[in-house]
Amino acid sequence: MFSAYDLVYSVEAVAKHFRWETFVFIGHSLGAALGKMYNVSYPGKLSKLIDLDPINFYAIEPEDFPKWYNYYFKNFFDNYEKYNMPKGSAPIISKDEALSSLKKKRGLPEDLALATLERWSEPAGEGLIRYTYDQRIRVVQITPLSINHIRKIYTSVSTPMLVILADESVSKGLFRNTSFLQEEASYPARNCRVRTVAGNHDVHVIAPHRLAPHVAAFLTGGIEALDSKAKL
């Protein structure tokens, strides 16, 4: 079973391998949550942090602990064989069905759905594919922190941050009980800027041109460049 902090350390392993003293982290969805966790676990390592539609960051209040435990641990061990099956026993599905599902669930056009599927699968003959990703990644255990705990830890940082939200995620309420992390006023150091673009959770791959101007401005000029751009 993976915890989010197992994956956080994988980021540090990459940084060590490339001998990065500091670096910029860009994360999408769960990856954005990992970036925030890395930032507080290894202070000073990130020069900038960019969150792309970070919908997977949420709080667990004490009264909800049983639900959290059952969702992660009971579910995992009740389905242990499913989550730990060897690659040769992984689910097989028709390629057309898999593509159709990706396009419907994620709103991806044909070419992007195909590219995504190729990263996750291998041919299994007769128009079928076999999923190759580690099934345990479907139940990455998030540490159960309360709203106040999350607020205190993650808004106290001074790392320059850019948060880009997809308007469809906002309208669907997908930021759950930590929407304050997407509010500039929540950060005492005034180090966070939030921008919203039209699109769904995968807008960064479907329409990257909508995000690119914000990301480019932030990478080249930091918070000041975003503020100047907003005034134009």
| Closest CA relative to residue 95, chosen from 66, 68, 59, 120 | 120
pLDDT at 232 over 60: no
From 3.40.190.80, 3.40.50.1820, 3.10.580.10, 3.20.20.70, which CATH number describes the 4-60+144-231 domain? 3.40.50.1820
Per-residue pLDDT tens digits for 99-143:
999 999 998 999 999 999 999 899 999 999 999 988 898 899 988
Decide if 3 contacts 30 (C-beta within 8 A): no
pLDDT for position 230: 66
CATH 3.40.50.1820 domain extents, the chain: 4-60+144-231
Instruction: DSSP for the chain, please give it.
Output: --BHHHHHHHHHHHHHHTT-SSEEEEEETHHHHHHHHHHHHSTTSEEEEEEES-TT-----GGGHHHHHIIIIIHHHHTHHHHT--GGGS-EEEHHHHHHHHHHHH---HHHHHHHHHHHEEEEETTEEEE-S-GGGGGPBPP---HHHHHHHHSS--S-EEEEEEHHHHHTTTTGGGGGGG-GGG-TT--EEEEEESS-TTHHHH-GGGTHHHHHHHHHHHHHHHHHHHH-
| Closest CA relative to residue 12, chosen from 42, 36, 40 | 42
Per-residue pLDDT tens digits for 204-216:
999 999 999 999 9
pTM exceeding 0.75: yes
